Structure 1
Amino acid sequence: MELKTSGELIGAIDLFHFDGLTDNCEVGYSIGYKWWNKGYGTEALKAVIDFGFRRMNVHKISAAHNLDNPASGKIMLKNGMEQEGTIKHMIRNAKHQYKDCALYGLLQEEYRKKGK
């Protein structure tokens, strides 16, 4: 992710873990702290979801966030994703502490119905 005005790098976003049998994938993103709460994550996720569904014909896009970071879940909700559950000890941080994550998903058919 980069700022439109200056081209400055502010974060990263990517579709990954493509499953050829189901046509499902995941999305992950990270934004530098300086740019939190400015709408950049919401804008980037919207563009990547649109690309995945309209250009790549992905069936479902999933994402997860550490429960310590509810702002990331808000970005997912703003883009039409729905929380599907929680996975215990999904990640381990730098301090070797296990963290639970909320799992979100969005189907292409739901995306198209909502007119996103």
Structure 2
Amino acid sequence: MTQRHRLATRRRHETIAMEHEGQRYKVGLGREVLCDGSCGATAMRFGPIAEVFFNAQKVNSPIDVLVSDSAILMSMLLQYGCPPADIFHAMKRNPDGSPASPLGRAAAFLVEVGHD
């Protein structure tokens, strides 16, 4: 079994807004800081996206719970070394090839922006 990469305490976090089938979501993406505390802000580097947070517009609604739990699973897949493209390709699609779920849209975003 592959070892899970445990994330450092200090991470970069960015938030994006996303819409899927008329519903709005917030997606948080976490990357590790790759330099030690001695490098300056200009020398700071960030690792690949290693965690995903996902929230629906209405907190604690059934869809919010589902996307949040799904994001935890996606984060664990990333931390075990699964490439975002593999995650994206495993998800359901609409007949036109677009992602069928909000999490599928988030996985597509990871592939589009480049994981590393």
TM over 0.5: no
TM-score by length of structure 1 reads 0.30
The structure having more radius of gyration, on CA atoms, is 2
